[in-house]
Chain A
Amino acid sequence: MADPFAVKDCALIAMGTGERAQNLRELRDRILTVHPGCIYHHFWGGLLKPRFDEPEFQNDFAAWSYHGLREARLAERLALIDPCEFSEIEDLRRELVEVIEERLAESEFVPWARADQQFYFTRSQIVVLDTDLRPREPSALQALIPKLSVGSVFYHFIDARRRTSSRRDDFSEWLLGLDRVCQPLVDALGEIDPYFSTLTELRSEIDRAFKRFALGEGEACRVL
C-alpha cells in the first residue's frame, strides 16, 4: 500500500543580496552571476508577494523593464518567458540573458532607470511545515483541496517542480504511485498552467480537476 499524501505548508522569507542594476547592461551582467535562487524568486516569488489578481507582468524582470527602464518592447518579450518550459534554472537564466542581449543589440543606447528605481536582486528561503494531514485515498485528498492554504498550494504545485525529478507537482507524483489508474487526473493536473494564475485561482483549478474524476476508494479514476 502506498504512503499517504503528506500535506505540507510553507512560508517564504525574502532575502536581500546587495546586488542591483540601474541599466539594462547591468541587469544582464548581474543575471549572469546572481544566485540561482534570485532567478527563481523573481519568476515565482511574486505569487506569495503583495500584488493584485491580474498583475501587468508575471515576472519582476518584465515589470522593471516596463516601469523602471520604460522599455515596453523588452517588457513584452520578458513577460512571455514561461518558467515552466525550463526544467533547469540555468536554462531559464540563459533564456533571460538571450532576450536581454537581443534588445541590447537592437538599441542605439542602453536604457537606464532613475536612481531610485533600480532593480534589487532578492531571493528567498522557504520554511516547510508539516500540517500532520495524511489523506490515504485520492477522495480524501480531494476533500482537502478547497481548504488548502495558499502556502500549501505553492509548496505542492509550484515548489514541487524544482524538487521532483519528473518536474511534476506533488499531487501527480503521488497519484502515479498509487496502485490504480489515475492517469486521466494526472493529465488534467498537467494541463493546468501554474504561471498565469494566482494561488487562489490555482487552488480552484486543481479542485475542478479533482472534481471531474470519481475518486472512490479502490477504484480507478474515471471521468464523470
Chain B
Amino acid sequence: MPGTLNEYAAIVGEDVIGHLRQLARGLEGCKVVHVNSTREGGGVAEILHWLIPLKRELGLDASWEVIMGDEPFFQCTKSFHNALQGKSVSISESLLRGYEDCNRKNAEHLREQLESADFVVIHDPQPAPLLNFCPNRKGKWIWRCHVDVSRPYRPVWKYLREHVQGYDASIWSLAEFAQPMPHPIYLIPPSIDPLAEKNRDLPQYELEAVRNQFGLDPQRPMIVQISRFDRFKDPVGVIRAYKLARKFTPLQLVLAGGGATDDPEGAKVYTEVREASGNDSDIHVLLLPNDAHRTVNALQRLTDIAVQKSVREGFGLTVTEAMWKGRAVIGGDTGGIRLQVINHHTGFLVNTPEGAALRIRYLLKHRDQLEIMGRKARQFVLENFLLTRHLREYLTLMLAVVHQTMDRIEL
C-alpha cells in the first residue's frame, strides 16, 4: 500500500507537503490519465502505484490505464527497449504493424476516456501510437520516456520518433538521455519511495535473520553491490576490487541481483561471476527473486559500503536506495551515478577496479569519514530524490505545459 501525504510529511516535513498542495490547487479536478503496459513489475509500474493515489489525494482526478498486448507485441517492444539503449536490432515489418494494430485496438476502448482527459501521460514506447488514434484530443498529451536514449540504434529511433514527436511535451530522466524534439522537453530524474518495502526501516531482528540466512560474518566489514548480472554493472570488476582491497583489510563481498535466469545474457554473466569468485567463501553471489525487496533492503542496511561500479548506467536507483539507508557509495563515474555520488561528500566516483579498491580501503580505515558521508548521503536523497520531489515536478510540469511558450507562469 502506498503511503499517504501525512505519512510522507513525517519524513520530508510539512512544508514540502504544503508546497505540493499549493501547486495542486491550480490543477484541482483536472482529469489525468496515465497509460503504460504493465500493472506489476518494473520501475514504471512502481512509480504509478504511488503517483496515482497521491495525485488523487491532492484533488486531481487521476487514473491509470494499462494497454493489453500479445506475445509479438511485447517481443516488438522489448526490441524497442534494447534498440533505444543502443543495441543494433532489426525489427520486422510484420512486428511493427502488429505493434500499431495492438495500439489501435487498445484505442478503441480507451478513446473516450483519453480524448476527454485534461492530461494524458503515456509511459515509454509501448502505448506511444495511442496519440494518433485519438484525433479529438481535448487535453495535453505528454510522452514520458524512462529509457536511456542517449545513443539509440538510429533506425529504430527514427521509427519511434514518428510516434512521439506529435506530443505536446516529453519528459526524460536526464538531459543526456533526451533526443531533440519539436516540442518542449522536460527533465525529471527518478526517485524512490521511502515507505516502500525496499526502503522502509527494518527491525534489527530482520537484519540479523538475513545476515544468518546468507552466512555473513558480523565481525568483518562487508561491501555490497545490488544489481542485475549484467556486464554494464561490471560485477567481475567488483570482485577484482574486493580481491585487491582484501590484501589490506578483512572483507566480505555480496553481489546480489535477480532475474538472471530469464535472460540468456544474464545467465552467462552470472556464470562468469561464479567463476571469478572461485572458492572464496567470503564472496556471496546471491540470485534473488524479483520480489525480494526486504532482503535487498536488509543487505543495503547491513553493508559498510555500497558499491555500484557500473561502466554504463541509466540513473542508478540502487545508489539512491543505498544512500537513503545512510550508506556511502563507491560508484562508477557514469550516467546518473554522477548526479548522486559526489566525491568526498556522499562517496567516491571510480573508473577502475583499482580505484574502487583504493576507496574501499580508505573508507574502511577512516570510519569517521564513512559515517559522515553516510549521513550526508541520506540527507542528499531526502532533499532531492524522494518521490515528493518527483511529484512536485510532475505538478509543475502540468502547470507549465498548459502555458508552454512562457518562461514564467504566475498562478
Point out residues on A near B: beta carbons under 8 Å.
9, 11-18, 37, 50, 52, 116, 118, 120, 122-123, 125-131, 149, 151
Contacts and interface: CB of A to CB of B under 8 A. Distances in A.
Contacts of A12: 396
A201 to B, nearest CB: 15
B246 interface: no
B10 interface: no
Given A118-B176, A125-B406, A15 B411 contact: no
Contacts of A15: 184-187
Contacts of B397: 13
B19 interface: yes
Interface residues of B, number: 40
Nearest to A132: B22
Contacts of A50: 339, 380, 383-385
Given A9-B22, A16-B175, A127 B399 contact: yes
B39 interface: no
Contacts, number: 82
Given A18-B181, A127-B411, A149-B15, A13 B186 contact: yes
A37 B407 contact: yes
Given A11-B392, A125-B400, A128-B410, 19 more contacts: A13-B393, A13-B397, A15-B184, A15-B187, A16-B172, A16-B186, A18-B180, A18-B185, A50-B380, A50-B383, A123-B407, A125-B396, A126-B407, A127-B23, A127-B409, A127-B411, A128-B409, A129-B26, A130-B411
B interface, over-half SS: mixed
Contacts of B399: 127
A120 B408 contact: no
Contacts of A126: 407-409
Contacts of A18: 178-181, 185
B328 to A, nearest CB: 14
30 contacts: A11-B19, A11-B23, A11-B392, A11-B396, A13-B396, A14-B175, A16-B172, A16-B178, A16-B185, A16-B186, A18-B178, A18-B181, A18-B185, A52-B342, A52-B376, A52-B380, A122-B187, A123-B407, A125-B396, A125-B407, A125-B408, A125-B409, A126-B407, A127-B409, A128-B409, A128-B411, A129-B22, A129-B26, A149-B15, A149-B19
Contacts of A123: 407
Contacts of A122: 175, 187
B116 interface: no
A116 B334 contact: yes
Contacts of A11: 19, 23, 392-393, 395-396
A18 B181 CA distance: 8
Interface string B371-390: 00000100010011100000
A138 B186 CA distance: 39
Contacts of B180: 18
A14 B187 contact: yes
Nearest to B380: A50
Contacts of A17: 185
Contacts of A14: 175, 186-188
B173 to A, nearest CB: 11
A115 B180 CA distance: 17
Contacts of B19: 9, 11, 149, 151
A120 B172 CA distance: 13
A129 B186 contact: no
A138 to B, nearest CB: 24
B345 interface: yes
B168 to A, nearest CB: 13
